């Protein structure tokens, strides 16, 4: 498994009008590739993942994979508002060539996913189905849900998290 130590850039998704500008994304990555960064976080919050369609997410991930050298880690945001959709996004990111998935807690149904048991079931199901390591993305300001330390410890017992 890849070593995920070091500094990672949260990559913004550039646009030209209403369209994702993959050429600009590649140009940004080319500039950052000249640095000693360990890798990139693509489709995190800075990448505006909740606002992109599946086709746009795919285009961003494909462009990023083409521009990121294999020596730098490629972390892909794959979280969605359901476990099955998150699994599908995670498998797709792996097919494209991401080294790991960063998964935010589903946050539309906050009452259900605010329960530790639901969080554990979600993340373990994603990890079980994922061909790449899964990293938890805890962002309570945006999700309204906080992953408590005990819950994170339970999830981290799975070898893919």
SS3 137: strand
90-119: pLDDT as tens digits: 999 999 999 999 999 998 888 888 899 999
Among 44, 48, 42, CA closest to 28: 42
The stretches in the chain having pLDDT less than 50 are: none
- pLDDT for 118 equals 94
The answer to pTM > 0.75 is: yes
Rounded (10°) angle between helices 83-96 and 116-129: 30
Residue 47 has a pLDDT of 86
Rounded distance between C-alpha atoms, residue 61 and residue 53, angstroms: 12
Is residue 119 within 8 Å of residue 105, measured between CB atoms?
yes
Two tokens at 47? 């990448």
The fold adopted by the segment(s) 8-155 is: TIM Barrel (3.20.20)
The domain locations on the chain are 8-155
Radius of gyration of the chain (CA): 15
**Tokens found for residue 34:** 């000249």
pLDDT of residue 150: 96
């Amino acid at each position: 498994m890849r070593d995920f130590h070091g500094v990672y850039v949260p990559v913004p998704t550039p646009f030209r009008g209403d369209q994702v500008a993959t050429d600009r994304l590649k140009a940004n990555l080319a500039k950052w590739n000249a640095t000693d960064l360990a890798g990139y976080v693509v489709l995190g919050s800075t990448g505006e993942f909740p606002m992109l369609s599946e086709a746009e997410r795919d285009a961003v991930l494909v462009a990023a994979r083409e521009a990121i050298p294999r020596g730098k880690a490629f972390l892909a945001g794959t979280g969605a508002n359901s476990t099955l959709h998150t699994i599908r996004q995670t498998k797709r990111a792996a097919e494209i060539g991401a080294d790991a998935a960063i998964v935010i807690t589903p946050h539309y149904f906050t009452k259900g996913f605010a329960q530790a048991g639901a969080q554990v079931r979600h993340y373990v199901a994603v990890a079980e189905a994922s061909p790449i390591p899964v990293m938890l993305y805890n962002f309570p300001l945006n999700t309204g849900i906080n992953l408590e330390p005990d819950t994170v410890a339970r999830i981290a017992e799975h070898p893919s998290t």
